[in-house]
Amino acid sequence: MRYQTIPRTDLNVSKICLGTMTWGEQNTEAEGYAQMDLAVDRGVNFFDTAELYPSPVKPRTQGDTEIFIGNWLQKTGKRKDLVLASKIAGDRPFAQHIRPQLGFSKANLEEALDLSLKRLQVDHLDLYQLHWPSRQTNFFGQRDYKHDKTDEWEDNFLEVLTDLDSIIKSGRVRYFGLSNETPWGMMRYLHLSETHDLPRCVSIQNPYSLLNRTFEVGLSEMSIREEVTLLPYSPLGAGMLSGKYHLKTDEPGNRLNKYKHVKRYSSEQSWEATRRYLEIAQANDLTLTQMALAFVNDQPFITSNIIGATNLQQLAENIDSIDIQLSEEVIKAINEVHAQIPNPAP
């Protein structure tokens, strides 16, 4: 395993982060335990979860993922060895069952954090992330910003930072980050943090993969120059970039077969781009999983790559990507495909 410190923190994390959003939906509690055991044995020390999980989101299962992790932490006593991250749900229609009024008010931050700590059975989080903006922007499948004139959101960034400052000073959170945020949103948070001497966001968790490199437009330069690391999720495009759908090794329970609403990764453009990436991998004696994850692992704006799996074989292969170094020829071939079919799954 390789390790890297998240800029402006003392959090030294594995380059592979264990994502957990399938636990409670596609995975049982026992399977979640087995994944955590394997990940820790392989040197992974960074777990990411959210109050919203598991996904797909359902009222009856909301919070189960954190409960599974909490039970495992109590069973193993591993909390002291791990960097633990979770998220508060932003204002999105699919999260309305969590609380009557979503968003990052002081009351919501306090409630969400205390419930996450209770489910996780811990006294603090190393990283607490704002999961989606409260503004109506940055939706899945939307490449460009479209201003919603009916959006009644009022700029409350300073209030959010002030409340996070209080929470951090209480010892329940060490650092905070963003998720699914835009360049404007990151800029506002950074500017207000600097001008009001308030906590600074240290990370941003957005999608990034061979099928979605939109982070490179605007946010990557901000990430590098402002030292706000990307913690990418969906680096395999919901499993499309494993190659199993093209190789006909997929099963009915696989994510894109089971959840038909995840259309951006199975669109005609995503399918064709994946076919071309698979050819590159096969020509260079790589699996597509290895190539796709290795490409993400070594981007200069990334500290840790959030991988997910539904079985131990997948998890082991994902973790093994840390040992793959792509050649200049492979990267050139990848970029040629990207130039021809850019960002088919925003």
Contacts of 119 (CB under 8 A, 6+ apart): 51, 63, 66, 67, 70
| Alpha carbon separation from 253 to 234, 250, 263 (Å, rounded) | 18, 8, 16
Residue 142: strand, helix, or coil: coil
Q: Please report which residue ranges of the chain form alpha helices under DSSP H.
A: 29-41, 64-76, 106-120, 157-169, 183-196, 219-226, 255-258, 268-283, 288-297, 312-320, 328-340
The three-state secondary structure class of 97 is coil
Crossing angle for the helix pair 288-297 and 328-340, nearest 10 degrees? 90
Question: Mind telling me the catalytic residues?
Answer: 53
Calpha distance 321→249 (Å, rounded): 20
**Helix, strand, or coil here: 56?**
coil
Triad 116, 34, 32: Cα angle to 5°: 35
